[in-house]
Amino acid sequence: MKKIFFYNFLLLCFSFVSGQSKPTFAVVGSAVNKESVLKNKKLDISKIKVENISDGPIYLVWETIYNSFPKEWDCSMCQHGACQIGIPKGSVFNKLNADQQGFIAIHVIPANKTGSGTVKFKIYDKANPEYAKVLTFEVEVL
């Protein structure tokens, strides 16, 4: 009896873990944006979209995992539901309903400073952090 209970318990745990690993969102298009801008111009917006592919609402969390933008650049970023000055450490999207799209976007004003930089955001569903994607923005100022 104990053996049957143990195997049923393992099966239940395995089913729960397998169910949680199923992706609930997908990147729409490419997960990498490469942009070029002249030093006396600005990058108004560079956007990467994600879509809720689950049957219910999700809350996507993002974290900045890499940022090599020169400190002289004036940068900001927007996420689904809010914009922020600079490139913050992380935040949570507003709720994304089934089949709804959200996004992460950056804006850069290089202030006549040439160079290049990359910022990477790790994004995942708050209820399913095991499945994550990295969104990358590469900017070159000429």
Q: What would the mean pLDDT of 28-46 be, rounded to a whole number?
A: 96
Q: Please state, in angstroms and rounded to a whole number, the distance separating the CA atoms of residues 107 and 94.
A: 20
pLDDT above 70 (res 44): yes
pTM, 2 dp: 0.84
> 23-141 architecture in CATH?
Sandwich (2.60)
Q: Encode burial over 44-64: b for 16+ CB neighbours within 10 A, e otherwise.
A: eebebebbbebeeebebbbeb
Residue with tokens 């942009």: 35
Q: What is the pLDDT of residue 10?
A: 45
pLDDT category, 1, cuts 50, 70, 90?
low
DSSP 4-62: HHHHHHHHHHHHHHHHHHS--EEEES-SEEEEEE-TTS-EEEEEEEEEE-SSS-B-EEE
Q: Please state, in angstroms and rounded to a whole number, the distance separating the CA atoms of residues 37 and 20.
A: 41
Q: What is the pLDDT of residue 20?
A: 53
Q: What is the pLDDT of residue 21?
A: 67
Residue type at 57? P
The predicted-structure confidence for 46-69, as pLDDT tens digits, reads as follows 999 999 999 999 999 999 999 999
The predicted-structure confidence for 85-138, as pLDDT tens digits, reads as follows 999 999 999 999 999 999 999 999 998 999 999 999 999 999 999 999 999 999
Q: What is the pLDDT of residue 81?
A: 83
Consecutive H or E run containing 107 = strand 101-109
Residue 123 tokens read as 């994004």
Q: What is the pLDDT of residue 47?
A: 97
The predicted-structure confidence for 7-23, as pLDDT tens digits, reads as follows 545 444 554 444 556 89
Residue type at 126? K
